[in-house]
Structure 1
Amino acid sequence: MNWQPQTWHGNGHSMMVYRVGQGHAQPVFVWAHGWGQNAHCFLPLMHDMQGMGQHVMIDFPGFGQSPPPPQAWDVSQYADCVAEALNSAGINGPLVWVGHSFGCRVGVHVAAKKLLPLQHMFLLACPGLPYARPLIKQIKLSAKRIIMRAARVLPHNFPLRAWLREKLGSADYQQAGVMRPTLIKVLQDDLTSLVPRILCPTTLIYGDADIETPPAIGKKFCALRPKTRLHELQGYDHLTILTDARFQVSRIVRENVKGLVE
């Protein structure tokens, strides 16, 4: 692949943008990675999409080759950053957004607020909506939250506080480092009010073995926006949907963007 890396500089922040493809080929695919990942997580899937339009892959601020944002950001600020970067680079429609996990959150904000001229949005393992959990999971989650809140009153150097963080915090939380305040804002982001405002065609893809973002979230999404298409791929989880399921995912994408390809 002929990569064209470019560092975009905004107001006090910057972001690495990779472009693949020449000329005015359409559509332009925008690949938005998940939390803790970077643009390269899409490489297996992108290999199956070569020859279709242009491709723009981004390292969100704080990931890959992009430095962290100047302060804790929420999802809306990430959406504004991406829109500003693509607009300033002259990357315009028709755009097709392909997001995974956190990248789905950003895409929903972009679409609902009409920040970019999206013609289709593909959301893989989309989080951000409350859903009905089994009772035992609800009890465990409530207990964890109570303990974590109680731990906050302990002194920062108190050994028990660090131990509780290690035992009860998610892998993302433990590995977030300087991005932890941003992660907290991201996890608090509820997409319920934004989903009905999405105008572009939207396709959801979930692995039925995904326990981080189960297909139940996709069903809630469809209830909020009935025109949404939902695909459940058998035997794949939160990460293997990007790799082992790439042939199924690329087929779904190809079938839905045929009319946009030039």
Structure 2
Amino acid sequence: MASKSLKVDNRNFDISYEIVNPSGEKDIIFLHGWGSNKDIMKNVFAPFLKDFRHIYIDLPGFGKSPNSVELTTNDYVKITDEFLKLLNSTKDVIAGHSYGGKVSTLLNPKNLVLLSSAGILEEKELSVKLKIKSAKFFNALGLGKITKKFRSEDVNKMNEGMYATFKNVVNEDFTSNFANYKNNALIFWGEKDTATSLESGKKISSLIDNSTFISYDGDHYFFAKNAKDICERIENGIL
């Protein structure tokens, strides 16, 4: 594991990363989902894709890349792009899981790999809608502390900067962003995914002209049990 420091928009970031197969002729960059980290991606994909230099990154606020300031998805794109420049990365392939899929798409790689990507707005459950309305009501009254009671356990563990970041990114509609991506895309999905539905995956595939859609039996982390097949498809589709 290593770390590099960089400055983006007059803010300093320390990015934790790890490289596997450093002599690989092409780069594949792995971006994890919200609340996850690079180790989850590395543990799954490191044994495969031997012809690639693997770059595993902890996005700011996750894993061992600290962050306490409010960010947007565009900020994550800028930070990741600047970081990849420090590694002289050619961005041959970027693979993004869940939230990482949105960042990967905006980085506009030569080849995009989406793993149950976020970015398609889905209907929320009634209980979630009620929590959101209640939180907005108390915030309007200046009773922000009360809204913390409506946060999930995971959200409560965030510092205020990351909570503000979460609110910025959680309900983004990436329909036009997917449609504007014009390079090659491989889209993989879990058929029992309840975080990002199978229908969302099919919609993303319909929006990206040069895309191939493959689904597997599994949930939001379906790729953990299907890494070998996914990597073979990446090799066949790109190399």
TM-score, normalization by structure 1: 0.80
5 Å-filtered alignment, 1:110-125, equals 110-111=107-108, 118-125=109-116
Question: How far apart in 2 are the matches of 1:227 and 1:119?
Answer: 12
Q: Does the alignment pair 1:130 with 2:113?
A: no
State the structure with more CA Rg: 1
Q: Pick closer, same or farther for the CA change 1:157–1:149 going to 2, 3 Å.
A: closer
C-alpha displacement of 1:138:
5.2
CA pair 88-47 structure 1, distance change in 2 beyond 3 A: closer
Matched position secondary structure for 1:13: strand
Instruction: Give, in angstroms, the shift of residue 147 of structure 1.
Output: 2.5
Alignment length (residue pairs): 234
> Which residue in the other structure is 2:21 paired with?
21
SS of 1:73 mapped into structure 2: coil
Alignment partner for residue 223 of structure 2, among 242, 246, 255?
242
- In structure 1, C-alpha distance between the alignment counterparts of 2:137 and 2:34, rounded to whole Å: 27
**How many Å separate the matches in 2 of 1:146 and 1:155?**
14
User: Deviations 1:22-81 (Å, cap 9, x if unpaired)?
Assistant: 33x322110101111111011232233152221111111111111105x21100110111
Q: Residue 123 of structure 1 aligns to which amino acid in structure 2?
A: L
2:86 aligns with 88
Unaligned runs of 5+ residues in structure 1 are 112-117
Q: Read off the aligned partner of 1:48 and give its amino acid letter.
A: P
Q: What is the DSSP-based 3-state SS (H/G/I as helix, E as strand, rest coil) of the residue aligned with 1:123? A: strand
Letter in 1 for 2:107: V
Residue in 1 aligned with 2:7?
10
Does structure 2 conserve the Cα–Cα contact (< 8 Å) formed by 1:206 and 1:231? yes
Cα gap change, 1:170 to 1:254, in 2 (>3 Å): farther
Rounded to whole Å, the distance in 2 between the matches of 1:17 and 1:150 is 41
Paired residue secondary structure (1:10): strand
Aligned partners of 2:113 and 2:186 also within 8 Å: yes
Distance verdict in 2 for CA 1:109–1:170, change over 3 Å = farther
Distance 1:101 1:238 in 2: 8
Following superposition, the deviation at residue 14 of structure 1 comes to 2.3
Q: Which amino acid aligns with 2:104?
A: G
> Which residue matches 1:155?
143
* Native 8 Å contact 1:48 1:250 kept in 2: no
Q: Percent identity?
A: 20
Map of 1:49 onto structure 2:
48
**TM-score normalised over the length of structure 2:** 0.87
Structure 2 residue 129 is matched with structure 1 residue 142: yes
- Structure of greater relative contact order (alpha carbons < 8 Å, 6+ residues apart): 1
TM-aligned CA deviation for residue 154 of structure 1: 6.1
Check whether the contact 1:108–1:191 (CA below 8 A) recurs between aligned residues.
no
In structure 2, how many angstroms separate the alpha carbons of the residues matched to 1:33 and 1:86? Answer: 15
Taking structure 1 as reference, are residues 99 and 250 closer, same or farther at Cα in structure 2, changes over 3 Å only? same
Specify every segment of 5 or more residues in structure 2 that has no aligned partner in the other structure, as ranges: none
Residue 141 of structure 1, CA deviation: 4.3
**How far 1:244 moved relative to its partner?**
2.2
Counterparts of 1:102-251 in structure 2 under 5 Å?
Answer: 102-111=99-108, 118-131=109-122, 133=123, 139-152=126-139, 153=141, 155-158=143-146, 161-163=147-149, 165=150, 169-178=151-160, 179-234=162-217, 236-239=218-221, 241-251=222-232
Per the alignment, in what secondary structure is the counterpart of residue 174 of structure 2?
Answer: coil
